[in-house]
């Protein structure tokens, strides 16, 4: 049993949440979620994404079943929109967040992510080969991403090396 004096001392540190032992896994998960949301409300550097993810410029916390997974933005190879969800293909797996591709691109505001098709964003650091005539991008993990004419022309125009 924890004492009131210990709780009062803890309050002086302005914690985002306070847990009493023993706790269960669900209580811990909810407490972490509240702490992350509390952090989001205190700083403009993080954004809540439809209660499925919390995003900062360098990483995302994404709900996945009963856990919250930290995903580094740099580990995202590409993003594909599927209906109302964006599928993030990362080095360590695939994650879904409920968000439009244009909104995700805006929130990422990372120059390494280029839209190459109406349904795809690609991390240019993950590109292995470009086949302009075939409208195809091959990534380091051998994923094949379509390159639409519209976005290909903008890509070439904005990158003098390809002209």
DSSP E strand stretches across 11-151? 47-49, 53-55, 59-64, 67-72, 76-82, 85-90, 93-98, 113-117, 120-123, 127-131, 136-139, 144-146
Q: Please, which pLDDT band fits residue 27 given cuts at 50, 70 and 90?
A: confident
* The CATH number of domain 43-162 is 1.20.1630.10: no
Angle, vertex CA 152, rays to CA 150 and CA 154, nearest 5: 75
Percent of the chain with pLDDT over 70: 87
Nearest to 77 by CA among 148, 125, 14, 8: 125
Residue 9 has pLDDT above 70, yes or no: yes
Main-chain dihedrals φ then ψ at residue 133, nearest 5 degrees: -65, -30
Q: What is the mean pLDDT of residues 67-73?
A: 86
Residue 2 has pLDDT above 80, yes or no: no
**Nearest-angstrom CA–CA distance, 5 and 104:** 45
Q: What is the mean pLDDT of residues 60-88?
A: 88
Residue 154 has pLDDT above 90, yes or no: no
**Cβ pair 63, 53 in contact under 8 A:** yes
**Cβ pair 31, 20 in contact under 8 A:** no
Average model confidence (pLDDT) for the chain? Answer: 82
Q: Is 105 exposed, middle or buried (0-12, 13-18, 19+ CB in 10 A)?
A: middle
Q: Please, which pLDDT band fits residue 37 given cuts at 50, 70 and 90?
A: low
**Residue spans in the chain of domains classed CATH 2.40.50.1020:** 43-162
């Amino acid at each position: 049993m924890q004492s009131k004096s210990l709780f009062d001392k803890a309050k002086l540190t302005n914690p985002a949440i306070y847990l009493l032992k023993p706790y269960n896994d669900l209580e811990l998960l909810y407490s972490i979620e509240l702490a992350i949301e509390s952090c989001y409300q205190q700083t403009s550097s993080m954004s809540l994404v439809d209660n499925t993810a919390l995003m900062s410029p360098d990483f995302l916390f994404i709900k996945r079943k009963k856990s919250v997974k930290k995903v580094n933005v740099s580990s995202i190879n590409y993003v594909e929109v599927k209906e109302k969800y964006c599928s993030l293909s990362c080095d360590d797996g695939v994650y879904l967040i409920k968000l439009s591709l244009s909104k995700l691109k805006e929130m990422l505001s990372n120059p390494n992510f280029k839209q190459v098709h109406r349904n795809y964003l690609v991390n240019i650091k993950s590109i292995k080969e470009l086949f302009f005539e075939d409208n195809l991008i091959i990534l380091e993990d051998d994923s094949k991403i379509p390159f639409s004419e519209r976005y290909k022309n903008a890509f070439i125009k904005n990158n003098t090396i390809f002209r």
